[in-house]
Amino acid sequence: MSDTVIMPRPQAQHPLAGQTMTGAQMIVQVIADEGTSAVFGYSGGAILPTYDAVFLYNEAQRRAGGQEIPLIVPANEQGAGFMAAGYARSSGRVGVALVTSGPGATNTVTPIRDSMADSVPIVVICGQVPTGAIGSDAFQEAPVASIMGAVAKHVFLVTDPAKLEATVRTAFEIARTGRPGPVVIDVPKDVQNWQGEFRGQGTLPIPGYRRRMDQSAGCHLADDDAARFFGLLGESQRPLIYAGGGVVSGSASGVLRAFAEAFDIPAVTTLMGIGALDTTHPLCMRMLGMHGAAFANYAVEDCDLLIAVGARFDDRVAGDPQRFAGNARAIAQLDIDRAEINKVKHVQWSHVGPLRDALGALTAWGRGQGVAPAHAAWRAHLDALRRAHAMNYDHDSTLIQPYYVIEEITRLTRGEAIISTGVGQHQMWAAQYCDFREPRQWLTSGSMGTMGFGLPAAIGAQVANPGRLVIDIDGDASVRMNIGELETATTYGLPVKVVVLNNFGDGMVKQWQKLFFKGRLSASDKSLHKKDFVRAAQADGFEYAVRLDRKADVPRIVREFLAFPGPAFLEVIIDPDAGVYPMVGPGQSYDKMITGDFIAARGAAPAEAAAPDSSEMF
């Protein structure tokens, strides 16, 4: 094997360089070198050599007093993928899942696609049948490269064992750089068992990718471009930042805040952008979009300059792209991915490159030129919108309202907890009513909308952040999807707090069926199901497992639940008719937003959602 396939990068000599290792040992050593503090996975025949290498690595670390790599075993491989994603989303580090061939690999398809859609850096290492058996329909063989190629950022099938070490290192590089995403490595069993010399450095030659990354990193904001941007800002009386998940994944939250404060520009965030700006900050106008705050959506309608930062104008935000931000005379867009520029909305100014660098450069240029706009009238207008169209619900109901429960959680945690969710109504209620003081506290499946995400993601986040309070706010339908992971939390003594808002069914589906299908609750009403969540949690080892069904008990029980020192489970029987409002129907513009019975609308707002066109998405 020629050394020309390896691209060494200058660094200190690795202490293990030159030692003979198996391929499996090389995999584990590179994982350790990349700073991975835990691996999530389920074993099986084709990945056994690597699992054995993890055991041997940890045994050696124990003897030497070094740092071990815990291997967290979930109920199934989908859980492993979402745990790796929760680890990555909450820490900014690359998450790792280690699974076997065939069904082990295919069970990770959903978390891989979910991570790709939300730009989450994970590396999934799959065992594969021996090289000579590939393509023979061998036991537990699956065409991983073909399957994953459609859903991952990149896929490697390692058939040359001499390239294995460099491949694993390159996978981490691809996962974390540029627009982050999931990378899959398919490793045949004979490649894992092969023995060779560990180099301790080197990556694969991927010149096209690295050239794009270098070009992106080198896209410094020119003075002329900064001047044009501030020309647009100078002409604006009502500027608004529209911040997306790219701000969080690009570690640009700090510079975004500095930029917003320097030039007195309020901001709305997408679902994935929550936490990009402290939700309690006076410039933060909360979440916009289909279920965004009414005042946030009205702010978008009223702005005259929209500054999109790491946001992609997706259909949950811009259901009617032509009418989105219809009063904006100009739109500016900053993104790491050139493909997002002008993809949905035509913009008058754009910059492609790392957001942290671009926002920092804009701030420095503006300050250097003495730019200090004051938007007092615009700020006053937004404050009036915030007061007039505040989030609200039926406070007098005798039934437990989900919003009340989440308000209590937020009051007690002061916006400092890491919150994960499943997908559905509870997800939107958490987005609307929780506070987040920092980025990476909000973990949710955005683009894919994957039910079952919340519990395993919370476990991954707790592993990555052992000293933090991690709460999974889930729904009765969503938590069922990966309810086997309750046992994972107790097995490893992880103090995850799991709250299930039980409305006896698929709440969001029921809401849509009531609005658009004349109340025909086809397959969404689960009020006759027999699931006893508290007993299920107790059976899985939860010492604190409580059902809350009296409104008067909410403050006391929520306080006890959050204060419990170990894993805790709380089922809350909520009003089954509680809805998610505001709501903008699919394909609709913000002037068709319905605000429900308790949030004030402005103008002649519709009392009910307009039926979506037959081509519109759920």
At 513 the pLDDT is 87
In this structure, is residue 604 part of a structural domain? no
In this structure, is residue 242 part of a structural domain? yes
Claim to verify: residue 343 and residue 487 sit in the same structural domain: no
In this structure, is residue 612 part of a structural domain? no
- Cα–Cα distance, 592 to 161 (Å, whole number): 59
In this structure, is residue 408 part of a structural domain? yes
- Cα–Cα distance, 57 to 27 (Å, whole number): 11
- Measured N-to-C along each axis, helices 425-433 and 402-413 cross at an angle, to the nearest 10 degrees, of 40
Compute the 3-state secondary structure of the chain and give helix, strand, coil in percent, each to the nearest 5: 40, 15, 45
Claim to verify: residue 297 and residue 308 sit in the same structural domain: yes
Strand partners, 203: 7
Claim to verify: residue 169 and residue 315 sit in the same structural domain: no
Claim to verify: residue 445 and residue 323 sit in the same structural domain: no
Question: What pLDDT, in 10s, does the model give residues 427-445?
Answer: 999 999 999 999 999 999 9
pLDDT, mean over the chain? 95
In this structure, is residue 349 part of a structural domain? yes
Question: What pLDDT, in 10s, does the model give residues 328-383?
Answer: 999 999 999 999 999 999 999 999 999 999 999 999 999 999 999 999 999 999 99
Claim to verify: residue 169 and residue 265 sit in the same structural domain: no
- Cα–Cα distance, 569 to 542 (Å, whole number): 7
Scan for tokens 């959050």, then name that residue: 562
At 336 the pLDDT is 94
Claim to verify: residue 566 and residue 502 sit in the same structural domain: yes
pLDDT at 571 over 50: yes
Question: What pLDDT, in 10s, does the model give residues 79-99?
Answer: 999 999 999 999 999 999 999
**Pairing relation of β-strands 195-197 and 239-243?**
unpaired
Band of the pLDDT at 609, cuts 50, 70, 90? confident
The fraction of the chain above a pLDDT of 70, given in percent, is: 97
At 6 the pLDDT is 38
In this structure, is residue 595 part of a structural domain? no
At 7 the pLDDT is 40
Query: How many domains is the chain partitioned into structurally?
Result: 3
Residue 582 preceded by cis peptide, ω within 30: yes
- Cα–Cα distance, 592 to 607 (Å, whole number): 9
Residue 492's CATH number: 3.40.50.970
Question: What pLDDT, in 10s, does the model give residues 3-26?
Answer: 323 344 446 899 999 999 999 999
- CA torsion angle for 313, 317, 321, 327 (degrees, to 10)? -100
In this structure, is residue 578 part of a structural domain? no
At 8 the pLDDT is 41
Strand partners, 564: none
Q: What mean pLDDT is predicted for residues 246-258?
A: 97
Claim to verify: residue 256 and residue 161 sit in the same structural domain: no
The secondary structure of residue 525, as a DSSP letter, is B
In this structure, is residue 512 part of a structural domain? yes
Which residues are CB-neighbours of 135 under 8 A, at least 6 positions away? none
Q: Which domain holds residue 127?
A: 3-215
pLDDT at 607 over 70: no
Give the chain's end-to-end CA distance (angstroms, integer): 52
Claim to verify: residue 256 and residue 350 sit in the same structural domain: yes
Domain end point (choices 171, 190, 215)? 215
Residue 316's CATH number: 3.40.50.1220
Domain end point (choices 388, 417, 441)? 388
Claim to verify: residue 275 and residue 368 sit in the same structural domain: yes
Claim to verify: residue 286 and residue 316 sit in the same structural domain: yes
Domain end point (choices 388, 419, 447)? 388
Q: What mean pLDDT is predicted for residues 210-233?
A: 94
Claim to verify: residue 243 and residue 150 sit in the same structural domain: no
At 518 the pLDDT is 86
3-class DSSP state of 419? strand
Question: What pLDDT, in 10s, does the model give residues 97-148?
Answer: 999 999 999 999 999 999 999 999 999 999 999 999 999 999 999 999 999 9
- Measured N-to-C along each axis, helices 223-235 and 355-368 cross at an angle, to the nearest 10 degrees, of 70
The Cα-based distances of 337 to 183, 311, 342, 350, 604 in angstroms read: 18, 10, 11, 11, 39
Question: What pLDDT, in 10s, does the model give residues 293-318?
Answer: 999 999 999 999 999 999 999 999 99
* ∠ Cα 212 214 216 (to 5°): 70
Catalytic residues: 77, 139-140, 189, 508
CB atoms within 10 A of CB 67: 10
Claim to verify: residue 23 and residue 119 sit in the same structural domain: yes
- Cα–Cα distance, 499 to 547 (Å, whole number): 10
